[in-house]
Amino acid sequence: MSVRRIQNFFEEKRKEWYSDDTDLWDEVVYDHEDVAIHNKEERRKYVKECLGQMRDASDTIDELMGEYSTVTGYLADIEEFERLPDSELKHLREVCRGVDNLTEEQEDYENRECRMSDDEYYNIKAREDEVEEGINKIDEAENHRVLIKKDLKRLDNEKSAYRYRQRELMNEQANLKGMVYIVLGALGVCFAILFFLQFGLKFDAKIGFLVAAIAGAAALVFAFVRYNNGSRELSGINRGLNRLIQLKNTVKIRYVNNTALLDYLYVKYKVKDSKQLRAMWDRYKEEKEERLRYNRTKAELDGTKKNLARELSKYNLKYPERWLNQTKAIIDSREMVEVRHELISRRHALRKQIDYNKEIAANAKDEVMDIARNYPEYASEIKELIEGYEKI
């Protein structure tokens, strides 16, 4: 085998051992076969990990359901608008046009510096009470994502290092076994020669017997000690790999939830990152201040909006106050279609995240129940752990 072929072989192995596992970070693995179930500490730790994942998933679902209910309420409002008779919808649109026209008149002042488009302005305005919180949430989530990726990368590197050392030890132990056979064979040959010299040729081979025995014993003791040390280290590596799997499962769940949260917030605010949203928010505040400063028809606009609020209160709307700043959607059915599409996208993102966490909770529960079924002698202990988890 040429030197280049040897180099290529080790390069391929290096790529295989240190391959990027980021595509698998959203996959949670439950496998108690590698866990020392009969070890009380390991068993309780593993069950508590599963119960903790169930609790985290449940908390995430509770948080998501509130937002999901709100988005569903917005969609119900759109359906309520669509059910209005033509005459009532026409009247409502006239009121909305009054609000819309006065708003445009208010914003149409001389030498105005255009800091942001109407789409950006109304997008922020519709969520004005949420934007600062949204900026903080995105900032926190983005910073958390960096930390999570570092943790996952570190765990991947640790796992690769463990695997590499595991292969080294297994090869070393195989070599030690071979060494023992070679030493035993060499001792056999050596003793045969010495016996021939001693008894066949009448040479004094006592020193040879002594040297051979000492050398053989030293080699065997060396191999035995190295083999035992390697076995202990292999056992420690296996425990370390099991620990890494548990840690990685927990971090994977955080990674998926964090990614889903960021995707949802980006869709919600129509931005790519917190920096863009913060810039939009700063421009919005300046723009709003100027528009209010040059607002020559504020009283009339307020009165018209109150009229619109009264009109909206006549209908079975979940969130009538939202539509005070969404008059364009009421006036223009195409605009309403875009609002619906955005809300459906948000609800789909929430539903996907809720389903994911439900699956996590169900899989963790199945894992705990599977352990209880397969190891009935620990069922009462597992039941106590579950009861303690339910009291939290």
Examine the domain organization and report whether 274 and 184 are in the same domain: yes
Examine the domain organization and report whether 214 and 108 are in the same domain: no
What residue has token string 């105005």?
112
Asked whether residue 58 is assigned to any structural domain, the reply reads: yes
Residue 33 banded pLDDT, cuts 50, 70, 90: low
**Mean pLDDT confidence for 150-154:** 89
Asked if residue 43 lies in contact with residue 36, where contact means CB atoms within 8 angstroms, the answer is yes
Asked whether residue 1 is assigned to any structural domain, the reply reads: no
Total domains present in the chain: 2
The per-residue pLDDT for 201 is 75
Amino acid, single-letter form, for residue 34: D
Examine the domain organization and report whether 133 and 268 are in the same domain: yes
Distance CA 151, CA 254 (A): 11
Name the residue with higher pLDDT: 226 or 25.
226
CA distances from 93 to 84, 169, 328, 335 (A): 11, 78, 9, 13
Q: Say which CATH number the domain at 273 has.
A: 1.10.287
Examine the domain organization and report whether 100 and 156 are in the same domain: no
| Span 343-385, pLDDT tens digits | 999 999 999 999 999 998 888 888 888 888 888 887 788 788 8
* HSE toward the beta carbon, residue 254, CA cutoff 13 A: 19
Asked whether residue 12 is assigned to any structural domain, the reply reads: no
* HSE toward the beta carbon, residue 127, CA cutoff 13 A: 19
| Span 271-283, pLDDT tens digits | 898 898 898 888 8
Given a cut of 80, whether residue 2 has pLDDT beyond it is no
Residue that is last in its domain, among 291, 321, 349: 291
Q: What is the DSSP letter of 317?
A: -
The 8 Å CB, 24+ separation contacts for 75-78 are 75/340, 75/343, 75/344, 75/347, 76/318, 77/317, 77/318, 77/319, 77/320, 77/322, 77/323, 78/336, 78/339, 78/340, 78/343
95 C-beta neighbours (distance < 10 Å), count:
20
Residue that is last in its domain, among 291, 326, 347: 291
Given a cut of 80, whether residue 222 has pLDDT beyond it is no
Distance CA 229, CA 275 (A): 54
Asked whether residue 14 is assigned to any structural domain, the reply reads: no
| Span 157-207, pLDDT tens digits | 888 887 877 787 777 777 777 777 787 787 787 878 777 777 777 676 677
Examine the domain organization and report whether 233 and 150 are in the same domain: yes
Examine the domain organization and report whether 279 and 133 are in the same domain: yes
Name the residue with higher pLDDT: 276 or 341.
341
The per-residue pLDDT for 103 is 83
Distance CA 223, CA 205 (A): 27
Examine the domain organization and report whether 287 and 303 are in the same domain: no
The per-residue pLDDT for 113 is 67
Examine the domain organization and report whether 283 and 301 are in the same domain: no
Asked whether residue 28 is assigned to any structural domain, the reply reads: no
Report pTM: 0.47
The per-residue pLDDT for 19 is 44
Asked whether residue 354 is assigned to any structural domain, the reply reads: yes
Residue that is last in its domain, among 270, 291, 312: 291
Examine the domain organization and report whether 135 and 261 are in the same domain: yes
The per-residue pLDDT for 329 is 93
Given a cut of 70, whether residue 130 has pLDDT beyond it is yes
The per-residue pLDDT for 368 is 82
Distance CA 136, CA 235 (A): 45
Asked whether residue 15 is assigned to any structural domain, the reply reads: no
Examine the domain organization and report whether 244 and 143 are in the same domain: yes
Q: Which domain holds residue 177?
A: 127-291
Asked whether residue 318 is assigned to any structural domain, the reply reads: yes
Examine the domain organization and report whether 203 and 317 are in the same domain: no
| Span 279-323, pLDDT tens digits | 888 888 888 877 777 666 778 888 989 999 999 999 999 999 999
Examine the domain organization and report whether 162 and 261 are in the same domain: yes
Residue 114 banded pLDDT, cuts 50, 70, 90: low
| Span 43-96, pLDDT tens digits | 788 888 888 888 888 889 999 998 999 999 999 999 999 999 999 999 999 999
CA torsion angle 290 295 296 299 (round to 10): -160
